[in-house]
Every structure is written in C-alpha cells, then in structure tokens.
A and B are shown apart, each in its own frame.
Chain A
C-alpha cells in the first residue's frame, strides 16, 4: 500500500480551475503529480458517463472543478456539474466503487494556491482509500461501440 500512487483525473473548467492550474504553474507551486488534467469548456459540460469511463479506464479518483458559485461563465453550469457529481456518487456506491472517489470543487482563476491544495487534498484522500477496486483485478471488460 505504501508505494501506491493513485491515478487521478481532474476535469477542469477553462474559465477557472484550468487557469488556476496555469497560475499554480507560474507561481512554481509544487502540486501532486498524480493529477491528469482534462480541460473542459465548463464544469457543467462534464457528462457522468465520461467520468465513469475514466474510472473504467483505470482512474482511482476523479474530480470536477468549476467556478465559484455565482461566477459561472455560463451562469449555472457549475451548479449543474455539481448536481451531476452528486448523482454520480450514488451510482459509484451502487457499482461498489464508493462515492468518495469522485468530488466536485469550486475555485476561481485567481486561486493558484487553492488549486494546489485541492490536488494534494484529493490525492491524499484517494491514497488513503487505496487503489480503485477495478484496478486490483486484471482488466478484461470490453465495451461495445461506445467510444
């Protein structure tokens, strides 16, 4: 367990979290290198199915980061993203992966340090949870004509 390095996918809104990641970079802030960032046009664009596929493809944890409440570039996208993540938590519980492996965060483009904090905090959470149960077994599942 000690040498477990979680694979984490962060779906980051272009207008806040993605820019905050940039800022964290320019500020030379060292954050968890377990994070793989996917840039999204809005946190409200994150489809539950895409988040789920990230798990199926090997992620140990997934989070979505959107704008501060009230500051969404598309007005309400972040609220919708948050609700979808909440619902995905139910699905993860039913599947047996556990709701804690997915999360939704709010931050702004100016919050470079907060970006680092979230990345480290979530990595630590997943490190404590251990590898995704799906990654413990040899993967053999096959999808049909889904991407």
Chain B
C-alpha cells in the first residue's frame, strides 16, 4: 500500500489560514491502514485546528468526511455536496487522492495534509517500511524476493557495494544492506549461482524516468 505521514499541524494551519469553512477529507484506503488519513486522523486534525483557530480568535468551521477512496472517480464524485459549501479542502489522502479531488473540483483549492512517503507495508503496528520502487519492470525473481532498486541506497543491481558491513548499509546502522539480505537468502535457497550473472544496465524507461506512466486494459474498459 501507499504509506503516508501527516504534515506538521502548523503547516496545515498555514495553508488554510485565510479560509473560514474547510472540508477535511479523509480516505478509507491505504492511509487509513497506515493511520495517516483515515476517519480518526481526519477528526483529530479537524478538531485540533478548530480549537487552535478558536483560541487565535479566527474561528474555523470544519466539515469532515472520509471517502471510500479518493483515487477513484466514483467516490470523488460522491463528495460534491461536501465540497460545494466550503471555502477549501484539506485532503488527508495520498498524493493521488489530492490530485483526483483537485481535478474534479476545479473551483476549490485542495491542500495536502499528508506527505506521501512510499510503497511499503506494516512490519509491526506503528512501523512501516518501503518495499517497492515502482520501477515498472520487476526483477524480484533474480534477487530472492528482495528489491535492490529501492532497498539498496544506490539501487545497485550487482551488489553489495564496498559500503556493506555487518549486514548494514554505509548510510546508517539502521538500514540493512539489501544485497547482504539477498546474498543470505539466495544462499539459503542454494541458488547463489543466480547472482553470478552480470546484470546489464536496467531499462529505466518503464520507471519514472520514461515520463508519466499509464496502464490500459482494453478487455476491462467499459465503452459507453
């Protein structure tokens, strides 16, 4: 899922300082699971800012709603009545949701309440880690199911580099060396031979480098 983290409250307060009535729009998708922008977080943020503004003598009226998914037009369409009578929208979705809402409601400015961090998962309650670099051309079959594109700080395809020591990366003792993990895992699998092949330069055109990407499935498109 997409992992996100709330921006500092002061930042969000600054965004909306000139607006009187604001929709705080949560998302019940990934950001609910990573506890960044679900119903609870949305209510907490709205209430906090409402109280803060009250104390500052600049009362704020808030409307809160949590959409099923902000990255899906049908759910974004469904919030029209909420958006209609507010001055602006604070979206607690990932960057995708913010953009879908902004595209749909062009006469309202939409502010992001979150920083969208990465594609990852929950390793324990309250701890999320990055696992996928979204490069568009998966190579996990070559690396024991461990992604060096995103988990190696240098995205090395023929690692580990000389900065790997005691299983950790040179950038920090808290960062495991992905290539150390790959080697260990391939050893367990008895397939170290697979790592002997020199990996050629990767085709990055399927990644961000090739420009904005799109997936089209003709078989599931609904033609009106």
Contacts and interface: CB of A to CB of B under 8 A. Distances in A.
Contact of B47 (A49, A139, A140, A145): A49
B57 A137 contact: yes
A121 interface: no
A47 interface: yes
A144 B61 contact: yes
A133 B47 contact: no
A142 B9 CA distance: 20
Given A47-B40, A146-B64, A141 B59 contact: yes
Using C-beta atoms within 8 Å of the partner chain, give the interface range for chain A.
20 to 34
A52 interface: yes
Given A94-B9, A140-B59, A145 B65 contact: yes
B62 interface: yes
Contacts of B60: 141
Contacts of A55: 51
A143 B48 CA distance: 11
Nearest to B43: A49
A134 B57 CA distance: 10
A84 B92 CA distance: 21
B2 to A, nearest CB: 23
Contacts of A145: 63-65
Interface string A116-147: 00000000000000000110010111111110
A144 B62 contact: yes
A109 to B, nearest CB: 28
Nearest to B60: A141
A34 interface: no
B46 interface: yes
B61 A56 contact: no
A24 to B, nearest CB: 32
Interface in B147-204: none
A137 B64 contact: no
A145 B63 CA distance: 6
B50 interface: yes
A141 to B, nearest CB: 5
Nearest to A88: B44
A95 B57 contact: no
Contacts of B52: 94-96
18 contacts: A49-B40, A56-B51, A91-B44, A94-B48, A94-B52, A95-B51, A96-B55, A97-B55, A134-B51, A139-B54, A140-B54, A141-B61, A143-B46, A143-B47, A143-B62, A144-B63, A145-B64, A145-B65
Q: List the 6 closest A-B pairs by CB distance, nearest first.
A: A144-B63, A95-B52, A49-B44, A141-B54, A96-B55, A49-B43
Interface of A: 47-49, 52-53, 55-56, 91, 94-97, 133-134, 137, 139-146
